[in-house]
Amino acid sequence: MKQLVFYLVVILTDSKGYEESREKYGPWANVNVCIKFSRTLSTQHLRGGSDMNKWNKAFKMPLTAFCEPAYVDPETTEVYP
C-alpha cells in the first residue's frame, strides 16, 4: 500500500535567477518536519534587529525550498518520521 510523504525540494539559482540545480531530500511522513526545514533554508538570509517585527534582507539568497507531496511504497523506501 502506498504512503503519502513529503520531499524537501531545494532549487539553487545563479546570479541572474536561473535554475542551476534541483534536488529532493527526504521523504518525511510528517509535513510539519518538511516545512520546518523548508522555512529554515528559505529564510536564512533574513536578519532581525531589536524590533523583531521589522525584517531586513541581509543578502540575496540563491535558494528556494518547498515541500512536494508524493506517494511511495514504504516497503522499498525509507520514510523519515
Distance CA 24, CA 66 (A): 10
Distance CA 71, CA 11 (A): 21
**Short-list 36, 41, 38, CA closest to 8:** 38
Is pTM, for the whole model, over 0.85?
Answer: no
pLDDT confidence band for 16 (50 / 70 / 90): confident
More confident residue, 80 or 42: 80
List, for residues 44-72, the tens digit of each pLDDT value: 766 655 545 555 555 567 889 999 999 99
Task: Inform me whether the pLDDT recorded for 6 exceeds 60.
Answer: yes
List, for residues 68-77, the tens digit of each pLDDT value: 999 999 999 9
